A and B are shown apart, each in its own frame.
Chain A
Amino acid sequence: MTAPTVDRVMADQRAASFRTRSIKTTTKRTLLRLALAMVDLTTLEGKDSPGKVRALCAKAVRPMPDDQRVLGERLPPVAAVCVYPTLVPVAREAIDRLQDDLPRERRVRVASVATGFPSGQYPLDVRLRDVREAVAAGADEIDMVINRGAFLAGHSDEVGDEIRRVVDACGEAHLKVILETGELETYDNIRQASDLAISCIREGDFIKTSTGKVSPAATMGVTLVMLESIRDAHLRDSRVIGMKPAGGIRDAKTALHYLVMVGETLGRSWLTPARFRFGASSLVNDLLRQIVRQEVGVYPASYDFAEA
Chain B
Amino acid sequence: MKSDDTALATGSRETVHAGPGDLPVNELYLEYAPAPETAPVEILPRYGHFIDGAFVEPADGKYFETINPATEQVLSEVALGTEPDVDRAVQAARRALSAWRSLSGGERGKYLYRIARRMQERARELAVLESMDGGKPIKESRDVDIPLAAAHFFYHAGWADKLRYAIPGLRSEPEPLGVCAQIIPWNFPLLMAAWKLAPALACGNTCVLKPAETTPLTALRLAEIFQEVGLPAGVVNIVTGDGSTGRALAEHPDIDKIAFTGSTQVGKQIARSVAARARPIPLTLELGGKSPNIIFEDASIDQAIEGIISGIYFNQGHVCCAGSRLLVQESIHDEVLTKLRLRMESLRVGDPLDKNTDIGAINSKTQHETITRYLTLGVREGAPLHVAGCNGTNDRDALLEHALSCAPRGYWCRPCFFSEVEPSQTIAREEIFGPVLSVMTFRTPDEAIQRANNTPYGLAAGVWTDKGSKIFEIARRLRAGVIWCNTYNRFDPSSPFGGYKESGFGREGGVHGLHAYLRLPTGAPQ
Contacts and interface: CB of A to CB of B under 8 A. Distances in A.
Q: Do A and B come from one complex?
A: yes
Interface of A: 4-7, 9-11, 13-14, 20-31, 33-34, 36-37, 76, 79, 105-106, 109, 174, 204, 228, 234-238, 240, 242, 259-260, 263-264, 267-269, 271-274
Contact of A263 (B10, B30, B303, B466): B30
B10 A271 contact: no
A9 B33 CA distance: 30
A20 B355 contact: yes
Given A23-B32, A264-B346, A267-B16, A33 B303 contact: no
Interface in B3-54: 3-7, 9-13, 15-21, 23, 27-35
Given A268-B28, A273-B2, A25 B33 contact: yes
B355 A235 contact: no
Contacts of A21: 32, 355-356
A37 B23 CA distance: 25
B1 A267 contact: no
B302 A6 contact: yes
A235 B305 CA distance: 16
B143 A20 contact: yes
Given A10-B303, A29-B11, A30-B11, A267 B28 contact: yes
B306 interface: yes
B366 interface: no
Contacts of B187: none
B247 to A, nearest CB: 41
Contacts of A4: 300-302
A14 B306 CA distance: 7
A34 B32 contact: no
B35 A76 contact: no
Contacts of B18: 234, 238, 240, 267, 269
Interface in B38-94: none
Interface residues of B, number: 47
A238 B23 CA distance: 9
B215 interface: no
A27 B21 contact: no
A240 B18 CA distance: 9
Contacts of A28: 33
Contact of A260 (B16, B30, B139, B303): B30
Contact of A234 (B1, B23, B29, B139): B23
Nearest to A234: B18
B11 A105 contact: no
12 contacts: A5-B298, A10-B303, A10-B487, A24-B33, A24-B35, A25-B34, A76-B6, A263-B30, A268-B28, A269-B17, A271-B7, A272-B12
B307 interface: yes
A25 B15 CA distance: 21
Contact of A27 (B1, B16, B31, B306): B31
Contacts of A29: 11
Contact of B29 (A37, A105, A237, A264): A264
Given A20-B355, A28-B33, A274-B4, A269 B9 contact: no
Contact of A30 (B10, B16, B301): B10
A231 B247 CA distance: 54
B153 to A, nearest CB: 24
Among the interface residues A10, A13, A34, which one has the most CB atoms of the partner chain B within 10 A?
Answer: A10
Contact of A10 (B11, B23, B486): B486
Contacts of B35: 22-24
A269 B11 contact: no
Given A5-B300, A274-B4, A235 B21 contact: yes
A268 to B, nearest CB: 5
Contacts of B28: 267-268
A67 B299 CA distance: 51
A269 to B, nearest CB: 5
Nearest to A236: B21
Given A14-B303, A268-B28, A271-B12, 10 more contacts: A6-B300, A9-B486, A10-B300, A10-B487, A33-B10, A263-B29, A264-B30, A267-B29, A268-B30, A269-B16
A21 B138 CA distance: 12
B302 A228 contact: yes
Among the interface residues A5, A25, A109, which one has the most CB atoms of the partner chain B within 10 A?
Answer: A5
Contacts of A14: 303, 306
Nearest to B19: A238
Contact of A269 (B6, B15, B34): B15
Contacts of B300: 4-7, 10-11
Contacts of B34: 24-25
Interface string B491-511: 000000000000000000000
B359 to A, nearest CB: 14
A49 to B, nearest CB: 27
A138 B9 CA distance: 27
Contact of A13 (B13, B306, B338): B306
Contact of A235 (B2, B139, B338): B338
Contacts of A34: 6-7, 10, 12
Contacts of A228: 302
B38 to A, nearest CB: 11
Contact of B302 (A11, A271, A272): A11
Contacts of B304: 10
Contact of B466 (A7, A30, A37, A204): A7
The 3 closest A-B pairs by CB, nearest first: A263-B30, A10-B303, A22-B35
Contact of B23 (A20, A79, A267, A271): A267
B23 A6 contact: no
A27 B17 CA distance: 21
B32 A10 contact: no
A50 B169 CA distance: 78
Nearest to A276: B7
Contacts of A26: 33
Contacts of B30: 27, 259-260, 263-264, 267-268, 271
A20 B306 contact: no
Contacts of A264: 29-30, 346
Among the interface residues A5, A9, A269, which one has the most CB atoms of the partner chain B within 10 A?
Answer: A269
A109 B20 CA distance: 29
